[in-house]
């Protein structure tokens, strides 16, 4: 059993299983931690700028990877989209989205590390996952020069076959990328690792859509120093 098979034939299933089971267990047992902590009152302008760039970039990257990797090659061929065109589209769109996401992420990381008040309220996991995402973005952007050397798109087909092979339980999926550059492999490995630790970080808020707020009755908590009248029926006091 070689390292390539373990890394890209076994590890993906471990990461995906922990992602699915861990997320369900955390939501079931620790719902009050299913959130991202707010520090919006501190360095608000830097937070807004960084957050907008980061989230727009990462959403575009996720959509691009999801559609690009999991859409069967036959579908692209039927639509008349050549492999070379798809490769260049991925390079240009991915490069722009990756750059925006990296700039936004660095602003958020700088804010978290160099503001003493924010750093004091940040957990080890908050900072670590942001650093991992920045490294992952750098690896992704580092693949662009390599991809420019394969403008025919055949290199990208290998990753499509690998990703689709994983989801169709193809035992030979890892062989599709056995000969790709180590930067691609590092990018894939770190991506799988982020999925592995996903349920244990603040990233879980990505799985939540706040649609339940639309049907939620408003309420307000009021505290007062005044003495309030005692409800005798509630406390069981007879007249």
Q: What are phi and psi of 232, to 5 degrees?
A: -65, -30
Q: How far apart are CA 34 and CA 49, in angstroms?
A: 24
C-alpha span between 183 and 192 (Å, rounded): 14
The dihedral sign for the CA sequence 62, 195, 95, 46:
positive
10 Å Cβ neighbour count for 55? 15
Q: What is the pLDDT along the chain (239 residues), one digit of tens a residue?
A: 689 999 999 999 999 999 999 988 888 877 666 565 555 545 677 888 998 999 999 999 999 999 999 999 999 999 999 999 999 999 999 999 999 999 999 999 988 888 887 777 778 888 899 999 999 999 999 999 999 988 888 889 999 999 999 999 999 999 999 999 999 999 999 999 999 999 988 888 777 655 444 555 555 556 666 766 666 555 554 44
Q: How high is the pLDDT of residue 160?
A: 95
Which residues have CB under 8 Å from 148's CB, separation 6+?
91
According to the model, what pLDDT value does residue 125 have?
82
CB count within 10 Å of CB 181 equals 16
Sign of the dihedral defined by the CA atoms of residues 185, 187, 191, 197, in that order: positive
pLDDT at 1: 61
């Amino acid at each position: 059993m070689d390292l390539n098979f373990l890394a890209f034939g076994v590890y993906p299933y471990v990461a995906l299983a922990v992602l699915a089971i861990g997320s369900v267990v955390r939501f079931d047992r620790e719902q009050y931690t299913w959130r991202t902590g707010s520090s919006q009152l501190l360095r608000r302008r830097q937070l807004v700028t960084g957050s907008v760039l980061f989230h727009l970039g990462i959403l575009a990257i996720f959509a691009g990877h999801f559609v690009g990797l999991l859409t069967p090659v036959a579908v692209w061929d039927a639509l008349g989209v050549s492999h070379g065109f798809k490769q260049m589209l991925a390079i240009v769109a991915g490069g722009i989205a990756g750059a925006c996401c990296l700039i936004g992420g660095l602003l958020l990381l700088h804010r978290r590390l160099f503001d003493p008040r924010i750093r004091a309220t940040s957990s080890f996991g908050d900072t670590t996952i942001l650093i991992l995402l920045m490294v992952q973005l750098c690896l992704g952007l580092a693949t662009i020069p390599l991809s420019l050397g394969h403008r025919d798109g055949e290199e990208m087909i290998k990753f499509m076959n690998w990703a689709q092979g994983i989801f169709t339980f193809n035992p030979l999926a890892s062989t599709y990328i056995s000969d790709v550059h180590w930067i691609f492999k590092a990018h894939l490995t770190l991506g799988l690792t982020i999925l592995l630790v996903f349920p244990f970080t603040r990233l879980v808020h990505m799985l939540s859509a706040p649609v339940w707020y639309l049907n939620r009755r408003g309420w307000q908590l009021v505290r007062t120093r005044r003495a309030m009248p005692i409800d005798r029926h509630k406390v069981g006091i007879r007249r």
